[in-house]
Amino acid sequence: MANEAQIDLVPKEISWLSFNGRVLQEAADPSVPLIEKIRFLGIYSNNQDEFFKVRVADLKRQIIINKESGNAAETVKLLKEVQNTVSKYQVVMNNIYRDLVKELAENKIYLRDETEVSEKQKTWVRNYFKMHVLKHINPIIFNETIDLVQFLRDQYTYLLVKMAGKNKETSYALIEIPSDVVPRFISMPTEEGETTLMFLDDVIRICLDEIFKGLFDYDTIEAYSIKMNRDAEYDLLGNVDMSVLENMSNSLKQRLNAMPVRFAYDRAMPQEMVEFMTRELHLSDIDSSMPGGRYHNFKDFLSFPSVGSSDKFENPSLPLINSTPFDTYSNVFDAISNGDILLYYPYYSFEYFTEFLRQASYDPKVTTIKINIYRVARNSRVIDSLIDAANNGKRVTVVVELKARFDEANNIKWASHLTDAGVKVLFGLPTLKIHSKLCIVSRRENGQNVRYAHIGTGNFNEKTAKIYTDFALFTKNQELTHEVHSVFDFIEYPYTRPRFDKLLVSPINARQRIYAMIDREIANAQTGLPSYINLKVNNLVDRGLIERLYKASQSGVKVRAIIRGMCSLRPGIPGLSDNIHITSIVDRFLEHPRVMIFCNNNQEELYISSADWMTRNLDYRIEVGAPVLDPELRDRIRTIFKIQESDNQKARIIDADQKNAYVAHIDGAPQIRSQIEIHSYLQAVEQKHNALISATLATAEEAAAATAAAATAAAEAASAVAESEAEEKESKKDKKKDKKDKKDKK
């Protein structure tokens, strides 16, 4: 095992910033359509907000806790490194934004501020403001009694307004930009063939007098944008007189009043205003005060309007691929009974799963449905089908994870809605977040109870299934479905410890089983047997697993990994990790599945899983990984992995210094953008399946026709025989009658 000095891990916070840097690269990539580049700025900004609310807030708590004991120095050093790295990326983002505004203008799409519009356009803006915006404006006026920390809402952009009079009296006010009820980007009248947009912020700037004139005496008025992020952590309050839902709802209120962890402001803001806000927000030396550009909340660029030529400025849509097994049969249960089915979102439609639930909700043979919910869409057909199933007399159990970060309120709403509909709702365990992606349906068939299971890597969410890549396995395999059922038993009765021989279940056996499979590869490599590990996860930061991979590399095991996000392992270090090669893909879809492939002396084992290689996923969550048993489906996942390994358009090399260099394209080699290549590959797979089924059906039709012809011939022959026998019988009867007639005449 490598010694402690050799195991130089990248801090997960720095690695996360490196990942978000890859997102920012997409906003500057010339191959990305213009509006898609702008939306990548929105993704970057949204990610950065969450980073401060979760990871930076955690560092700040560690510093506060350890300060008295004198153990905070390393964390303080890391926080400074984080702040410096964020500042560097902020400069890069501002430059990219400036370049994108120029590119928009080159395409006759203009983003104007209040200094760049005509008087005629300003008149239009003032009318728009009076009709659509003014009713949502409720300024906060500063005075001695106001506690600004209590008023500012997390992640909202505000205008800090300064009103100065001749007698040097100054008043300050805050205006919240109401982008949750009014579009952030306002389309203005313009010349034909052009598009002119204005930030809602600037609409308000133009109309400041409409808000304050007559109420305040001032000679000058100016406004600068600011934003604050709060600590997203909260404690679960354990009031025994309250329900789980009530306790969680009360706990979430802590987030509303949590202390700031970042204060971002317009770098053009006068220094005395910056100092004023620093005092008002009670910011300490470990909080992040960051000068930025004129506008904040770039996350709103995620909803940047589709303007101009959509085929030029946005990604062309990829046609959904039909699942031949599901489409061949009249119902989902017959389809799954014919063999395991694998879907890969978003190439396949999520509607195959919603149809699975819809049919289960009213199928008279279905008796029970169990599912765990982590994040679902706001208008969820999944929830609708579960309620319909309960109304149809099915026994429905839904495990709702209330602690799904930033989806807590949504899940509280759904839990109440399901409970009111008569669904049995479980909230899992206080100490274990439930992150598995399981659904199981029990059905009575020929007097037997038969189970159908869904095991996936992504959430049951119609919205994210359109933009996240994820695997979904549908199976009737008795061993797998029995163990899936046992997972639900464990959630409901956590004092039990079911045995899992097929599934990898955190925190019961996943870590030990993964260790054992890595150790087996190490032993095989040391004895000259074939060995390799192929891995695809979102994050690799668990120290125990990284140490095992270092040892595997030192033993000669080839480790190939595709890691989208955080990676604390340093690849390519001679004598430590030179057999480890890691890339990261950031493209139009968010790479989300987890896949593990172990050589096992050429008896390959392949798993899909809901778990990243993080300590929390292995030790403090309920996660499920499943072996893919069907050889054809294993080959399909293996091929997808190989396509992604060959990506030379959107893949970056993760090296020891996390420089985010693109994988080099070798002259003469084909250009491979894996997300597009995978779509073509899966189309070909389904076309082949469709052809095989058509041929099988044609053969079956020919056999049926031959059988029908034989049956017709047999029937005709039988009819001829019967007719002949009848004629012979009639002839004998006639002869007998003739004989009798002759006898009577005598």
- Enumerate the β-bridge partners of residue 216: 213
**CA nearest to 174, candidates 157, 155, 156, 161:** 161
* CA separation for the pair 201, 158 (Å, rounded): 9
DSSP string, 379-424: S-HHHHHHHHHHHTT-EEEEEE-TTSTT-HHHHHHHHHHHHHTT-E
* CA separation for the pair 663, 659 (Å, rounded): 12
- Residue 44 makes CB contacts below 8 A (sequence gap 6+) with 20, 23, 24, 27, 93, 298
Indicate the residue type of 151: F
**47 annotated ligand binder:** yes
Question: HEC string of 145-183?
Answer: CCCHHHHCCCCCEEEEEEEECCCCCEEEEEEECCCCCCC
**405 annotated ligand binder:** yes
Helices (H), strands (E): how many in the chain?
A: 22, 27
**224 annotated ligand binder:** no
Give, for 621, the enclosing helix (H) or strand (E): strand 621-627
Indicate the residue type of 642: K
Q: How far is CA 247 from CA 1, 233, 402, 429, in A?
A: 46, 15, 11, 14
Residue from 435, 454, 485, 679 carrying the catalytic annotation: 435
Greatest C-alpha distance within the chain: 157
Number of Cβ atoms within 10 Å of the Cβ of 294: 15
As to burial, measured by CB atoms within 10 angstroms (0-12 exposed, 13-18 middle, 19+ buried), residue 293 is middle
- Residue 322 makes CB contacts below 8 A (sequence gap 6+) with 348, 686
**CA nearest to 53, candidates 154, 179, 151:** 154
Helix (H, G, I), strand (E, B) or coil at 585: strand
**Are the C-beta atoms of residues 504 and 625 closer than 8 Å to each other?**
yes
DSSP string, 558-569: EEEEEESS-B--
* 342: its two tokens: 């694998």
- Residue 353 makes CB contacts below 8 A (sequence gap 6+) with 343, 382, 439, 454, 460, 472
* 585: its two tokens: 């893909």
Q: Is the dihedral of CA 671, 672, 676, 677 positive or negative?
A: positive
Q: What is the DSSP letter of 282?
A: T
* CA separation for the pair 350, 716 (Å, rounded): 53
What is the 3-state composition of the chain as percent helix, strand, coil, each rounded to the nearest 5? Answer: 45, 20, 35
- Enumerate the β-bridge partners of residue 597: 534, 606
**375 annotated ligand binder:** yes
> Tokens 């894996």 identify what position?
674
Q: Is 136 a catalytic site residue?
A: no
**Are the C-beta atoms of residues 536 and 644 closer than 8 Å to each other?**
yes
Helix (H, G, I), strand (E, B) or coil at 323: coil
Q: How far is CA 723 from CA 708, 709, 711, 716, 731, in A?
A: 22, 20, 18, 10, 12
* 18: its two tokens: 């490196």
Could you give the residue numbers annotated as active site? 435
Binding residues for Mg(2+): 375, 405
> Which parts are annotated binding residues for ATP?
47, 468, 564, 592
Annotated binding site: 47, 375, 405, 468, 564, 592
